[in-house]
Amino acid sequence: MAIEPASMTSIPGPGRRIALALSLLGLVLISPRPVQSQSDTGMRSEAPIREVMLSDGVRRYGVPVTIGSVEVLAGLDTGAAGLRIMPDAPGRAAARAETAAEDYTFGSGAHLEGVKGSVTIRIGDLSGAATVHLVNKVGCIPRAPGCPGSLGLKYGFLGDGLPGEGFRVLLGANMGRTSIDNPLIAAGARRWIIELPRPGETGHLILNPTDDELAGFTLLRLLGGFREEEGGGLHDSVLGCLRNETTQARACGPVAMDSGAFSLRLLNAGLGAAPWAKDTPVALEFMDDHRQPVAAVQMIVGHMAQTLSFGAAPRRETIVQPGTAPYFAYSVLYDPARRMIGLKARPSPRAIGGVAGSLPAAVDPNARRP
């Protein structure tokens, strides 16, 4: 698996897969660092985040984005960067094509070719001029000839390689540098909060949150080296560990925050070939600058539709790809100016009809330690 200027969303990996589900929510253990006032950082706005279920049972998430004067549901992917538009996407005709070539490669091996364009976009009540990727061709890189890009222009963003599924526009929302604009920043956002929809709930993308909305977040610094990845899926990485609560085996390293990923993966973990057994309790711990746990999400292997796999990557570091688990457990704050990600525990969803007990609830990450 090459770490390219790309999302890590669709990277296939070796090893068996076993079901994984969230059972508990993370709890911030230390007082949050104060977040600076938002009074001078732009108008607050909000857009809904909608769940889209693929035919293989994978949940994806979309945000309404207006391109020119046409609204389209764009796939939300914090493991990617930039607004990328397929040829048949609504609103594409409003974009002005430029002569500069624009290419993009996903970790799955899907390779997009096209040109840079410019268009006015609107997200919530914020709007601005943005450079975008006008995709004209989709294929695979040589090392992954059977990748989802083999569908050609039938390829859909976040579509798991399923013909005709996924999105025609990708809203790449990580904080990495890229050759086209971050669409949220281009629209006028200085900071944003992502709350993915859990079953029975409404998701929210909050742009330029208020001081009250910023209260209670614990801030984590982006890891050096990974924060410089050019638009890659590892860009928004913070320090953390995945711990087997039965054996206390741990894998620690960069935790790649990627809303476009669905399953939990460990890369270069050195924990053997087979993932941990069904019903194993595991904890995803987030660490501060002193390598002390400040928040945790507990999960149970073998529940719901998420999967656990072990794999390898060319980089030497152990890499934790937690999938959507942190986004179900926390509201996630993105602060590009300060190069930080913030976490705040979401309210318990136990009162939600039909899913009580299967979604996160607050837990002390040290409580189950011997």
Cβ atoms < 10 Å from Cβ of 42:
15
Cβ atoms < 10 Å from Cβ of 63:
25
Q: For 64-77, what is each residue's pLDDT tens digit?
A: 999 999 999 999 99
Higher pLDDT, 164 or 368: 164
Q: Residue 225's pLDDT is what?
A: 79
Q: Residue 313's pLDDT is what?
A: 75
pLDDT at 213 over 60: yes
pLDDT at 351 over 50: no
Are 85 and 95 spatial neighbours (Cβ–Cβ below 8 Å)?
A: yes
pLDDT at 20 over 90: no
Highest mean pLDDT among 40-44, 119-123, 288-292, 353-357: 119-123
- Strand (E) positions, 218-348? 218-221, 237-244, 250-256, 264-267, 281-287, 293-301, 306-311, 319-321, 330-335, 340-345
Q: What is the pTM of this model?
A: 0.85
The stretch 344-369 carries a mean pLDDT of 49
Q: Residue 9's pLDDT is what?
A: 38
Q: For 239-253, what is each residue's pLDDT tens digit?
A: 999 999 999 999 999
Ranges of each domain in the chain: 18-32+212-363, 47-190
Q: Residue 305's pLDDT is what?
A: 42
Q: Residue 138's pLDDT is what?
A: 98
The stretch 175-191 carries a mean pLDDT of 94
Higher pLDDT, 1 or 230: 230
Q: Residue 234's pLDDT is what?
A: 81
Q: Residue 280's pLDDT is what?
A: 86
Are 342 and 219 spatial neighbours (Cβ–Cβ below 8 Å)?
A: yes
C-alpha span between 348 and 341 (Å, rounded): 22
Q: 303 is written with which tokens?
A: 């529940």
- State the residue for tokens 């087979």: 274
Cα-to-chain-centroid distance, residue 77: 5
pLDDT at 173 over 70: yes
Report helix, strand or coil for 317: coil
Q: Residue 8's pLDDT is what?
A: 38
Q: Residue 41's pLDDT is what?
A: 66
pLDDT band for 273, please (50, 70, 90 cuts). confident
Are 141 and 109 spatial neighbours (Cβ–Cβ below 8 Å)?
A: yes
Minimum mean pLDDT range among 38-42, 51-55, 234-238? 38-42
Q: Residue 10's pLDDT is what?
A: 35
Q: Residue 301's pLDDT is what?
A: 75
CATH topology for 47-190?
A: Cathepsin D, subunit A; domain 1 (2.40.70)
The stretch 303-315 carries a mean pLDDT of 70
18-32+212-363 and 47-190 agree in CATH topology:
yes
Q: Residue 329's pLDDT is what?
A: 87
Q: For 99-154, what is each residue's pLDDT tens digit?
A: 999 999 988 899 999 999 999 999 999 999 999 999 999 999 999 999 999 999 99
Bridge partners of 300, per DSSP, are 21, 281
Contacts of 13 (CB under 8 A, 6+ apart): 1, 265, 267, 309, 310, 311, 312
- State the residue for tokens 């059977």: 146
C-alpha span between 125 and 7 (Å, rounded): 27
C-alpha span between 47 and 71 (Å, rounded): 12
18-32+212-363 has CATH 3.40.30 classification = no
pLDDT at 6 over 70: no
Are 81 and 231 spatial neighbours (Cβ–Cβ below 8 Å)?
A: yes
Contacts of 36 (CB under 8 A, 6+ apart): none
Mean pLDDT across the chain, nearest whole number?
A: 82
